[in-house]
Amino acid sequence: MGNTTRAEQRERTRRALLGAARALFAAEGYGAVGLAEIVKAAEVTKGALYHHFDGKADLFRAVLAEVQDEVGQRVSSAADAREDPWEQLTAGCQEFITAATDPDIQRIMLIDGPAVLGWNEWRGMDEASSAHHLAEALTDLVERGVIARQPVAPLAHLLSGAMNEAALWLASSGGPGELADTRAALSGILDALRTR
């Protein structure tokens, strides 16, 4: 063990559990994965799992939060690479659609997430992550006059719902041109919001 502290060891165990669970949930889906399989893949005991998580659903919740955080970081990076606030919004929205076409992300975030946690809890987590940033960006654009004055909450929910639905559709359709077509359709929807 050397100089490894208990805190470092605990964090290593937690990371191993999250990594193993994420890989298994992504590959097989939440319903098909048992705790025995997760602890075996993480090379830890069931006791270690229960030290960190209340059970499979709690572990899944932590994996989902991690996935949502990664998607949020991808969206932020795409937006931050632009100077213009309008381009930041459109780049962020397009990156969300692109990130959500990753099969692992889709399965955990969009398919199993609402099914495992229930719609309300899943929505709450979505709201706290990507939907919150979308509302902030829209508020800024309304204040700048780039988007016509209007209540931002309904607009943010409509766009968020449309993007989540498009990502789910892309997961099942899988045609080669579908992502490009979806991105083009999203551009049209966003462009219609701009004041002329």
Examine the domain organization and report whether 12 and 107 are in the same domain: no
Examine the domain organization and report whether 37 and 87 are in the same domain: no
Do 154 and 142 contact (CB within 8 A), yes or no?
no
3-state secondary structure of 194: strand
Examine the domain organization and report whether 28 and 105 are in the same domain: no
The residues that bridge with 194 in the sheet, in sequence order, are: 147
Examine the domain organization and report whether 6 and 101 are in the same domain: no
Examine the domain organization and report whether 40 and 112 are in the same domain: no
Examine the domain organization and report whether 107 and 142 are in the same domain: yes
Distance CA 137, CA 89 (A): 6
Examine the domain organization and report whether 94 and 130 are in the same domain: yes
* CATH code where residue 137 lies: 1.10.357.10
**Does the global pTM surpass 0.85?**
yes
pLDDT one-digit tens code per residue, 139-162: 999 999 999 999 999 999 999 999
pLDDT (tens, 9 = 90+) of the chain, 196 residues, equals: 557 798 899 999 999 999 999 999 999 999 999 999 999 999 999 999 999 999 999 999 999 999 999 999 999 999 999 999 999 999 999 999 999 888 889 899 989 999 999 989 998 888 887 788 899 999 999 999 999 999 999 999 999 999 988 988 887 776 678 999 999 999 999 999 999 7
Examine the domain organization and report whether 49 and 65 are in the same domain: no
* CATH code where residue 34 lies: 1.10.10.60
| Helices then strands, each counted (H, E), the chain | 11, 0
Distance CA 33, CA 23 (A): 10
Total tally of structural domains belonging to the chain: 2
Examine the domain organization and report whether 15 and 76 are in the same domain: no
Examine the domain organization and report whether 48 and 65 are in the same domain: no
Range of the domain at 151: 61-193
